[in-house]
């Protein structure tokens, strides 16, 4: 079993647990960072870690709910439920994010959103792909939009932009673009990868939320950096575009209000 095939197997295991518990009574706790966690978040990550111990026992693991394990350059990055706030409220926009990073390079990734009947995946150099339940997989590509005035922007929320001192710059970008929607979380980035959205941005976000989506966006032909331009998913924030707009958006976010 190659690494992408293992990503798919892990996603299947995650889907089995998340779907069974969705729209049921859940125990919801608040973590130190004031984000919610349920017994299903923990159960999914535990199951994924068990399968990794079986299939890749020498690899390291970085997840949202438990401490890092291992010291290998091969690092599995897991977000058991991206969109837990949606999950606990019955909103079907949530996904399990699973990826493998070797050294500094992401190699394989899966984003599985079973309540949407959607899954996306990528392996380095092999493009990005998507499927719907009951449909054949298809290769996906970013859009060709090259003007902000014609671009669709997806974002999560406003408070973090203020913390970065970029609230006014972000609002300026918001007002310049053609269409703005708060799809949020993994879905913003998958819509960029599919070419349905042209720009997605978040001011504060950890690695486990970004590793899988970043590879899928770049394998779809897009560009993925922090909001300050640091390449990849490790900059603490995220800007994903179709590539044509990336420099323009970075410049817009660094502009200071007059």
Note whether 3-140 and 148-254 share their fold: no
User: CA-based Rg of the chain, rounded to a whole angstrom?
Assistant: 18
Segments in the chain below pLDDT 50: 258
User: What's the pLDDT score for residue 256?
Assistant: 54
- The annotation status of 98 as a binding-site residue, yes or no, is no
- The annotation status of 64 as a binding-site residue, yes or no, is yes
Q: Which of 15, 17, 100 is nearest to 62 (CA)?
A: 100
Distance in angstroms between the alpha carbons of the first and the last residue of the chain:
56
Domain boundaries, the chain: 3-140, 148-254
- The annotation status of 185 as a binding-site residue, yes or no, is no
Q: What angle do CA 165, 186, 16 make, to 5 degrees?
A: 145
Options 3.20.20.450, 1.20.210.10, 2.40.50.140, 3.30.540.10; which CATH number does 3-140 get?
3.30.540.10
Q: Which of 43, 44, 53, 42 is nearest to 76 (CA)?
A: 53
- The annotation status of 79 as a binding-site residue, yes or no, is yes
User: What's the pLDDT score for residue 158?
Assistant: 83
Per CATH, which fold does 148-254 belong to? D-Maltodextrin-Binding Protein; domain 2 (3.40.190)
- The annotation status of 40 as a binding-site residue, yes or no, is no
User: What's the pLDDT score for residue 164?
Assistant: 87
User: What's the pLDDT score for residue 258?
Assistant: 45
DSSP designation for 69: B
């Amino acid at each position: 079993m190659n690494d992408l095939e293992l990503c798919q197997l892990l996603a299947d295991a995650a889907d089995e647990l998340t779907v069974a518990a969705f729209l049921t009574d859940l125990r919801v706790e608040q973590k130190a960072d004031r984000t919610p966690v349920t017994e299903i978040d923990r159960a999914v990550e535990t199951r994924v870690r068990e399968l990794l111990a079986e299939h890749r026992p020498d690899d390291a693991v970085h997840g949202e709910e438990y401490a890092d394990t291992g010291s290998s350059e091969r690092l599995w990055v897991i977000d058991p439920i991206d969109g837990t706030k949606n999950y606990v409220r019955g909103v079907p926009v949530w996904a399990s994010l699973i990826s493998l990073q070797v050294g500094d390079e992401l190699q394989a990734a899966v984003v599985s959103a079973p309540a949407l009947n959607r899954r996306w995946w990528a392996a380095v150099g092999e493009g990005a792909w998507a499927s719907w339940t009951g449909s054949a997989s298809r290769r996906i590509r970013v859009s060709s939009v090259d003007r902000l005035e014609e671009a669709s922007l997806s974002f999560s929320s406003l408070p973090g932009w203020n913390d970065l001192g970029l609230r006014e710059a972000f609002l300026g970008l918001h007002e310049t673009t053609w269409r703005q929607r708060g799809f949020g979380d993994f879905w913003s980035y998958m819509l960029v990868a599919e070419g349905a959205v042209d720009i997605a941005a978040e001011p504060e976000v950890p690695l486990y939320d970004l590793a899988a989506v970043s590879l899928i966006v770049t394998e779809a032909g897009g560009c993925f950096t922090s909001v300050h331009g640091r390449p990849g998913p490790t900059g603490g924030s995220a800007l994903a575009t179709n590539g044509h707009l990336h420099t323009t958006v970075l410049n817009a976010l660094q502009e200071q209000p007059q």
